[in-house]
Amino acid sequence: MEIIFYHPTFDTPYWIAELSKQLPGANVREWKRGDNQHADYALVWHPPVEMLQGRDLKAVFALGAGVDSILSKLKANPEMLPESIPLFRLEDTGMGLQMQEYAVSQVLHWFRRFDDYQAQQQKSEWQPLADYQREDFTIGIMGAGVLGSKVAESLLAWGFPVRCWSRSHKAWPNVKSFAGADELGEFLRETRVLINLLPNTSETVGIINLNLLNQLQDHSYLLNLARGVHVVEDELLQALNSHKLKGAMLDVFSREPLPQESPLWQHPRVVMTPHIAAVTRPQEAIAYIARTITGLERGDHVSGQVDRQRGY
Ligand SMILES: NC(=O)c1ccc[n+]([C@@H]2O[C@H](COP(=O)([O-])OP(=O)(O)OC[C@H]3O[C@@H](n4cnc5c(N)ncnc54)[C@H](O)[C@@H]3O)[C@@H](O)[C@H]2O)c1
Ligand SMILES: O=C(O)[C@H](O)CO
């Protein structure tokens, strides 16, 4: 079995060595420009079109959870990967735990009013504040998929009321489930902390706009862990400046790196990280890919295949 690997920043020799260990019958090689030799599987991130085009592959694996970048490249170059070749993505592979760490730490930060105490400290002000109550701190998770479910689990464990919104209803214990455009308003009405874990699709671009933010509880918070294009950044600033939103923590931005001139950098109630909420963990990802390829070779049903029409 021949496997080609391309990632612009990963430690390619490490990946090749580990994949070779876990798939002993496979010959794994780094794809380099001009390599037109046969391959059965391709493991990629931001692949050049010529790497995939015209190949008779059994499957392609995206080396991340979101497949928006590869699907947008495919839109511009449909011949890069015919529909008959399945595209897989990473499901969890250690990202669920990272998202839990991120979400729990920030929700607790807001819930214990550390943002207010930080602001007071800057004014050398010693002033205990009233506690927030969990019943006034409903967490609303948009995108109830692999990562949304892990985040919900972790916040339930801290005793917060949790609700989720997705395309179809979920039967998760102790989580109130809302689905589709008809139930979005009801989902938002009681949400105090909005956590975004939607995929980037034509239906979800710009979904977090002023109209949506205005439907949240007053003095709400936004945690964007998914993609920058979900948020209309000017409208987010309006919601912050009107104090409809008390704070926002953003891991992702419509342009990355965030341009120096963006007012988000300096906003006193915005905190940010540079798209690191959940990164690909090589060990877990390699184990998952090896397991999935083994399953495909046996003809088993395997999970993780992207529905290209749906866009995720
Ligand atoms: N910031 C980071 O470091 C980072 C890391 C990993 C993933 N991500 C992002 O997180 C996203 C979610 O990952 P996942 O593995 O949980 O995906 P997933 O496919 O398992 O879950 C997606 C969820 O969104 C819902 N959804 C999709 N379209 C919808 C729509 N139009 N209306 C309502 N609900 C809709 C689906 O029903 C599903 O519940 C990824 O697509 C990626 O963009 C970000
Ligand atoms: O989707 C993912 O895996 C991360 O956001 C990296 O792009």
Q: Which pLDDT does position 191 carry in this prediction?
A: 98
**Is the distance from CB of 301 to CB of 189 less than 8 angstroms?**
no
The pTM score is 0.98
Q: Which pLDDT does position 31 carry in this prediction?
A: 98
Burial 57-74 (b: 16+ CB within 10 A, else e): bebbbbbbbbbbebbebb
| Cβ 94 under 6 angstroms from ligand 2 | no
Q: Which pLDDT does position 230 carry in this prediction?
A: 98
Amino acid at 281: R
Q: Which pLDDT does position 161 carry in this prediction?
A: 98
Please say if 275 is a catalytic residue. Answer: yes
The residue whose two tokens read 């020799």 is: 13
Per-residue pLDDT of the chain (312 residues; tens, 9 = 90+): 999 999 999 999 999 999 999 999 999 999 999 999 999 999 999 999 999 999 999 999 999 999 999 999 999 999 999 999 999 999 999 999 999 999 999 999 999 999 999 999 999 999 999 999 999 999 999 999 999 999 999 999 999 999 999 999 999 999 999 999 999 999 999 999 999 999 999 999 999 999 999 999 999 999 999 999 999 999 999 999 999 999 999 999 999 999 999 999 999 999 999 999 999 999 999 999 999 999 999 999 999 999 999 999
Active-site residue, selected from the candidate residues 55, 89, 163, 227: 227
Active-site residue, selected from the candidate residues 29, 275, 281, 308: 275
Instruction: Please report, for residues 71, 72, 213, 305, the alpha-carbon distance to residue 308 in angstroms, rounded to integers and kept in the order given.
Output: 8, 11, 29, 9
| Cβ 145 under 6 angstroms from ligand 2 | no
Instruction: List CB contacts of 7: < 8 A, sequence separation 6 or more.
Output: 15, 43, 44, 45, 46, 63
* Distance from chain centroid for Cα 250: 12
Q: Which pLDDT does position 22 carry in this prediction?
A: 97
Pocket test for ligand 1, best of 164, 194, 197 (most atoms within 8 A of CB): 197
User: Which residues contact ligand 1 via a Cβ below 6 A?
Assistant: 65-66, 95, 143-148, 166-167, 197-201, 203-204, 225-227, 251-252, 275, 277-278, 312
